[in-house]
Amino acid sequence: MLTYIRNLIVFPFVKLKLSSCLRVQKKSILTTLNVDILESRRTNDSSLDETDFIKMKDYYGLAVPVMVGESFCLLRGKKISIDERLSLTCLGGLTGLFDDFFDKKNIPESYIKSLLENPAEKTGKNSNEKLILKLYLKALGNITDTNRLINYSLEVYKAQVLSKKQLGNDLNKKEINEITFQKGGFSVLFYICSFNEEISETEKELFYKLGGIWQIENDLLDVYKDHKAGIKTLVTTEINIKNIRDFYIQQVDQMVKLLIQSKYAISCKRNFLDNILLFISIGFVAMDVLEKNEQKTNNIFKLDSYERKDLICDIEKPANILKIIHYFAKYNPSLSSE
């Protein structure tokens, strides 16, 4: 109970800090990513569209530096540098474009791999590829361990190739789980390469686990779109949302144990956990929305029986904001030696 009350008191300060980080990143985008977008608009050969630019500056380019970058900075107890922010912004900016290589562009896998392995030797066949290469090279130019970034980019590439199996009908739960964590886990480790600090194996496991949790959350929010596209995720293949909830809680508990084992100061671990639990709590609210539908279908989750509006989680609704606060307080544990 004391931990719950402590978390309720802390929540407004965590939310205020997040709002501040978002403002700073939006301002940074104006002088970094937005410049590249304006240039790409001018030279666009139609391989880029407005949706690409929106994902770059309003989603990934904003979310990656704030969710991953600022969280890691809280853990290490050191503010983000200009170079680190630029690298994270570039990697975030290219994320949506890179995903489209596999989802929309039907580009040969060997060619995609060659772009990642030897970007300086490539020019790109169109505006889309040129922009990805430009952002990727900018990120590489702002870090010291370029090999680490290239290696993790190849892990992300392999996870994307593997994720094509999600369009088939022969995947079991274990395989879907592995794909989910590889997609999310290696993406977070890819972004962490923007920081020059070495991280231990335990910390790699921590960020891999965190990435997997965030991927599950993303699948919860995108369940309607994924279902209509025929994509098999842990959510679209589930018949009872409680099973997802139990698994989600289990993963959060495991992530906390890895955090406790990490080398960072207890106060930094506390700040990190407060920050990421704010994002993770949205997943619980999304599960509430999905689970409510089961009442209409004999307590079984049947996606074919629901409309799009039934599956949308509007986190701006006052009731859902209150739920986010509740789940933040409920699942944000005290740490050993606190």
The 3 state secondary structure assigned to 87-98 is: HHHHHHHHHHHH
Closest CA to 217 of 253, 193, 181: 181
13: tokens are 């300060």
Closest CA to 162 of 180, 135, 150, 149: 180
- Residues of the chain predicted below pLDDT 70: 104-105, 336-338
The pLDDT value given to residue 338: 62
Q: Do 139 and 87 form a contact (C-beta atoms < 8 A)? A: yes
N- to C-terminal Cα separation, the chain: 15
Question: What pTM, to 2 d.p., does this model score?
Answer: 0.95
Q: Do 208 and 185 form a contact (C-beta atoms < 8 A)? A: yes
Residue 49 φ/ψ region, left for φ over 0, alpha for ψ in the -120 to 50 degree band, beta for the rest:
beta
CA–CA dist 203, 121 (Å, integer): 33
CA–CA dist 1, 28 (Å, integer): 40
293: tokens are 């539908």
* Overall size of the chain counted in residues: 338
108: tokens are 């040969």
220 SS3 class: helix
Type of residue numbered 115: L
164: tokens are 């094509």
CA–CA dist 132, 97 (Å, integer): 7
Question: Is CATH 1.10.1740.10 the classification given to domain 2-331?
Answer: no
- The neighbour count for residue 82, using CB atoms within 10 Å, is 10
Q: Do 269 and 330 form a contact (C-beta atoms < 8 A)? A: no
The residue written with tokens 């190739």 in the block is 161
CA–CA dist 248, 254 (Å, integer): 10
Closest CA to 213 of 161, 284, 297, 147: 284
The pLDDT value given to residue 102: 81
Who's near 261: CB < 8 A, 6+ residues apart? 202
189: tokens are 């480790």
CA–CA dist 77, 70 (Å, integer): 10
The residue written with tokens 């980080």 in the block is 21
Closest CA to 280 of 305, 261, 254: 254
Residue-range domain boundaries for the chain: 2-331
84: tokens are 């680190």
Closest CA to 154 of 195, 197, 109, 218: 109
Q: Do 272 and 318 form a contact (C-beta atoms < 8 A)? A: no
